[in-house]
Amino acid sequence: MTRRPSATDNRSPRAGLADRASDRWSDAAAPGRALARFPNRLRELREARGLTLQEVAERTGLSYATVSRRETGDRLLKVRELDVFARALQCDPNEILLESESRLVPVVGRVGAGEQVFPIDDHPTGEGLYKVECPRGLDPLVTVAVEIIGDSMPPFEERSVVFYSREPEPDAAAIVGRLCVVKVQDGPTLFKRVRRGYAPGRFNLVSNSGAITEDVALEWAGPVKAVLAPDVVRKVAA
């Protein structure tokens, strides 16, 4: 399978992200190294929990002055302190670093009858129909979403949002048995479960209704990472 076209490819390359993630989290590689100036939500998270600076200092074992400086940005938050603050504030470490805006991902298409994806992100801005918050545990920098329309895809409800990786899965064996957004070679983009085909490099695509598209070649496949029901989707204007 080859690299997917760049209709929605308006973000940083995966390799660069991996490098930056390593820089952020690899405390063992560089003990005490300060993070670059990523957003810091310590004060927001502390106040949302009704805690004082002194209470956070006691929970973390850090001094009052250190906690205060980390909140204000007078001193940069160190990698090794992320887990300490996360435990004290009972949150995910990502919540400390990332503002809500940076966790928004675009809805780049709709999935209709026949489970075909109809792109809506072909215009130059690459903004999509609207944006939604990326589910926790997924990387918003490499995640995109599509919206389900119609009621032909049980058990998924109409207006549910499907999240998948914009980075095609390089290992063909890794997509077998998984629900994926796939691009058929010289054909449509579909939302299907992938099975092995009858020849090497070929796949059978199984729909929720049980219909099978047999023995096709794929240009790329993005495994589905999460599906949100419409009643929990918070839409943000693109």
Q: Same domain, yes or no, for 50 and 107?
A: no
Residue ending a domain, among 80, 98, 116, is 98
Flag whether 189 is in a domain. Answer: yes
| pTM value > 0.95 | no
Distance CA 88, CA 53 (A): 11
22 and 49 in a single domain? The answer is yes
In a domain, 31, yes or no: yes
Shared domain for 83 and 143, answered yes or no, is: no
170 domain residue, yes or no: yes
Neighbours of 226 (CB within 10 A): 15
pLDDT of residue 121: 53
Q: Which of 98, 127, 143 is the last residue of a domain?
A: 98
Task: Tell me if 208 sits within 8 A of 190, measured CB to CB.
Answer: no
Compute the C-alpha angle 119/232/190, nearest 5°. Answer: 25
3-state secondary structure of 6: coil
* Residues 52 and 146 placed together within one structural domain of the fold: no
Name the domain boundary from 54, 81, 98: 98
β-strands 235-237, 189-196 pairing: unpaired
Report whether 67 contacts 57 (CB < 8 A). yes
Q: Could you tell me if 74 and 124 lie in one domain? A: no
Element (H, E) at 194: strand 189-196
Of 213, 143, 223, 217, residue with least CA distance to 177:
223
The domain tally of the chain equals: 2
CATH number of the domain where residue 177 is located: 2.10.109.10
Q: How many CA atoms lie within 13 A of 111 on its CB side?
A: 30
Q: Is there a domain that residue 187 lies in?
A: yes
Q: Say if residue 206 is in the same domain as residue 193.
A: yes
Q: Which of 143, 119, 139, 167 is nearest to 3 (CA)?
A: 167
DSSP characters over 171-237: -GGGGTTSEEEEEETTS-EEEEEEEE-SSTT-EEEE-TTS-EEEEE-EEEEEEEEEEE-GGG--EEE
pLDDT of residue 28: 30
Give the pLDDT score at 19: 32
Question: If you count DSSP H runs as helices and E runs as strands, how many of each does the chain have, helices first?
Answer: 6, 11
Instruction: Identify the pLDDT of residue 120.
Output: 65
Nearest to 109 by CA among 151, 78, 149, 155: 149
238 residues of the chain, pLDDT tens digit each: 544 443 334 333 333 222 332 333 233 333 333 433 445 788 888 988 999 999 999 999 999 999 988 887 777 777 788 889 999 999 877 778 655 556 788 899 888 766 788 876 543 344 678 888 888 778 888 888 999 887 767 788 888 999 998 887 888 889 999 999 999 999 888 889 999 999 999 999 998 777 889 999 999 999 999 998 888 888 888 7
**Together in a domain, 150 and 225:** yes
- Structural domain containing residue 42: 14-98
Pair (223, 110) in one structural domain: yes
Beta strands at 130-133 and 104-111: parallel, antiparallel or unpaired: antiparallel
